[in-house]
């Protein structure tokens, strides 16, 4: 088969996936009454707290809306999070990733026989993961922060379901914004002092005085 025919075949085989993604996005958007597409602007430097891992809402499973409970009190100061501390140490102080607490945390998981995040099972793979962190940070520094919605509109990503993978935030009962997920992008934007970035509003506490 010639290269032109292979390219034509690949484009044809991509159509079913594209249609599926768009239909699924439309379905999720409908049953969530638009909550999965609720994007707001946040100032990364103004956010003080992030959710603890056990109180996070999975952005691709929780479709957004009001939620009761004490999840908004199960938080950690942004600047005490291992990932944020590691970003500060690496990008502002120039320390190698290997000396940062987040790298050590991931390495300990590997040593215990548990792949970090289910896929990084060696030091070499872990280093490649942190190289991606470098790429992300310097891309944002060079091009500014772009949401997945913007990247989709520009044709740089083609999966509609990736729109669920924006930085996600929650609104606490006192109306304050808590970081839910997207720590890497959030940390990059905060360290680069970008004053306004888009984020998907995921959970809103039922006692919140803000809409």
Confidence of residue 118 (pLDDT cuts 50, 70, 90): confident
Confidence of residue 11 (pLDDT cuts 50, 70, 90): low
Among candidate residues 167, 163, 169, 168, the one with its CA nearest the CA of residue 149: 163
CB 189 within 8 A of CB 181: no
- Using the CB atoms, write b or e for 11-36: b if 16+ within 10 Å: eeeeeeeeeebeeebeebbeeeeebb
pTM given for the model: 0.86
Q: Which two tokens stand for residue 8?
A: 């034509």
Among candidate residues 194, 159, 149, 206, the one with its CA nearest the CA of residue 42: 194
Tell me if residue 157 falls in helix, strand or coil: coil
Tell me if residue 41 falls in helix, strand or coil: strand
The residue extents of the domains of the chain are 32-205
Residues 197 and 188: their CA atoms lie apart, in Å, by 11
> Burial of 39 by CB count in 10 Å (0-12 exposed, 13-18 middle, 19+ buried)?
middle
- pLDDT exceeds cutoff 60 at 5: no
Lowest average pLDDT, out of 28-32, 127-131, 132-136, goes to: 28-32
Section 44-67 average pLDDT: 94
User: Measured over all CA atoms, what is the biggest interatomic distance in the chain, rounded to whole angstroms?
Assistant: 62
């Amino acid at each position: 088969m010639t290269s032109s025919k292979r390219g034509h075949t690949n484009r044809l085989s991509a159509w079913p996936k594209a249609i599926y993604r768009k239909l699924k996005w439309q379905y999720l958007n409908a049953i969530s009454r638009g909550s999965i597409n609720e994007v707001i602007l946040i100032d990364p430097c103004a956010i003080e707290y992030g959710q603890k891992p056990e109180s996070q809402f999975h952005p691709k499973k929780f479709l957004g809306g009001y939620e009761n409970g004490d999840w908004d009190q199960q938080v950690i100061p942004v600047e005490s999070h291992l990932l944020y501390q590691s970003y500060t140490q690496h990008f502002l102080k120039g320390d190698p990733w290997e000396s940062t607490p987040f790298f050590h945390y991931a390495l300990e998981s590997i040593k215990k026989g548990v792949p970090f995040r289910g896929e990084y099972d060696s030091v070499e793979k872990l280093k490649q993961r942190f190289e991606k962190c470098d790429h992300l940070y310097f891309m944002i520094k060079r091009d500014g922060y772009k949401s997945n919605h913007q990247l989709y509109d520009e044709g740089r990503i083609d999966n509609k379901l990736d729109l669920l993978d924006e930085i996600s935030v929650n609104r606490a009962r006192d109306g304050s914004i808590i970081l839910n997920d997207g720590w890497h992008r959030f940390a990059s934007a905060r360290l680069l002092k970008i004053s306004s970035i888009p984020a998907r509003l995921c959970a809103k506490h039922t006692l919140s005085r803000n809409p």
